[in-house]
Amino acid sequence: MSAQAQMRAMLDQLMGTSRDGDTTRQRIKFSDDRVCKSHLLNCCPHDVLSGTRMDLGECLKVHDLALRADYEIASKDQDFFFELDAMDHLQSFIADCDRRTEVAKKRLAETQEEISAEVAAKAERVHELNEEIGKLLAKVEQLGAEGNVEESQKVMDEVEKARAKKREAEEVYRNSMPASSFQQQKLRVCEVCSAYLGLHDNDRRLADHFGGKLHLGFIEIREKLEELKRVVAEKQEKRNQERLKRREEREREEREKLRRSRSREHRRHRSRSMSRERKRRTRSKSREKRHRHRSRSSSRSRSRSHQRSGHSSRDRSRERSRRRSSKERFRDQDLASRDRDRSSRDRSPRDRDRKDKKRSYESANGRSEDRRSSEEREAGEI
């Protein structure tokens, strides 16, 4: 790659697609399905393992450093949740590698000479020490490249201790095997990158393997996968909590709306009941007023009728008493007239004439009194 191309890539990585106003490069966005989401998160196996024995070639999706820069800028304000896509991609890749590792283990078990379980455990101990020495040597080289001499020297001391343990383990393994069998190369499959490791590999070979780009690339991919799993789990938990919170808020709002509607309905019902109660009280008051008015009018009418009946009864009693008195007078007059007739027969004619005049005068006075009493009675009835 020329210096100009390297400079352009660096500017793209720092400033994105719109760094120089080039609108033609903005036809595709980082959120497009054609863009590799693992590349945006800097963990695509095609980039990590390029130039190694397991180079996967060019990725089928778009890789562009400018789109990665656009994504890093936009992700500060919005969560696009591309970690899930990248996690699925890495899980698929690691699952293929683990299947290849199992196939390689089965092939070694079929081709190598059968050994007992005790000897296999001793050989496994030698392999573990080889792996530890290789990792420590790779760390020493890294610290030396960084200029950290003191830490590098401490790690070299650990390497010497591991080498001493390896010599002891090899001695134990050699004593448990025949001389012909011990000289055979015993291989082992690396659990990280599925590469073959020899039981008798020297330190340089082990350091080249464990410090090589292939092994470190697989370590990076596996570590990135674990990180993505953790991030995705945290984001899913956060989303679930937000979703639960939104649902609780909606339920709370619905309960509040229901409470308000019930309170409005209660107030409406209460107002209706109060209006009905007022109307009922008004009707009862009006009925009471009408009843009191009717009772007053009826009492007045009864009092008037009672007064009228009292007057009429008094008038009737007066009339009866007058009739009785008149009858008694008539009877008394009749008796007196009879007595006078008897006495007149015995007296002279002159006395008879005087008595007749007197009787006629009394009868005239009685009729005038009767007429006067009848007029008074008529006036009382009126």
Reading the chain (382 residues) residue by residue, the pLDDT tens digits are 555 556 656 666 555 565 555 554 556 888 999 999 999 999 999 999 998 888 888 999 999 888 988 898 899 888 889 999 999 999 999 999 999 999 988 887 776 655 566 667 777 787 788 888 888 888 888 888 888 888 888 888 888 888 888 888 877 877 776 555 555 557 788 888 888 887 777 777 878 888 888 988 999 999 999 999 999 999 999 889 999 999 999 999 998 888 888 888 878 877 777 877 887 888 777 777 777 767 666 666 666 655 655 555 666 677 777 777 666 666 767 676 676 666 655 555 555 566 566 666 556 555 555 555 555 565 555 4
Question: Among 84, 317, 108, 292, which Cα is nearest to 199's?
Answer: 108
Do residues 322 and 373 make contact, with C-beta atoms less than 8 angstroms apart?
Answer: yes
Tally of CB atoms within 10 A around 276? 10
Query: Is 86 in contact with 59 (CB distance < 8 Å)?
Result: no
- Phi-psi label, residue 126: left if phi above 0, alpha if psi -120 to 50, beta otherwise: alpha
Structure-block tokens of residue 351: 């006395």
Is residue 110 packed enough to be buried (19+ CB in 10 Å), middle (13-18) or exposed (0-12)? Answer: exposed
What's the rounded Cα separation, in Å, for the pair 301 and 209? 131
For residue 35, the SS3 value is strand
Give me the helices (H) in 149-212, please: 149-175, 179-182, 203-210
Residues 6+ apart with CB under 8 A from 259: none
Helix (H, G, I), strand (E, B) or coil at 22: coil
Q: Using CA atoms, how far apart are residues 197 and 30, in angstroms rounded to an integer?
A: 41
CB 344 within 8 A of CB 355: yes
Q: Whole-angstrom Cα distance, residue 111 to residue 107?
A: 6
CA–CA separation, 359 and 289 (whole Å)? 68
Phi-psi region of 34 (alpha: psi -120 to 50; beta: other; left: phi over 0): alpha
| Paired residues of 35 in beta bridges | 62
Half-sphere exposure of residue 29, counting CA atoms within 13 Å on the CB side? Answer: 5
Give this prediction's pTM: 0.57
Residue type, 57: G
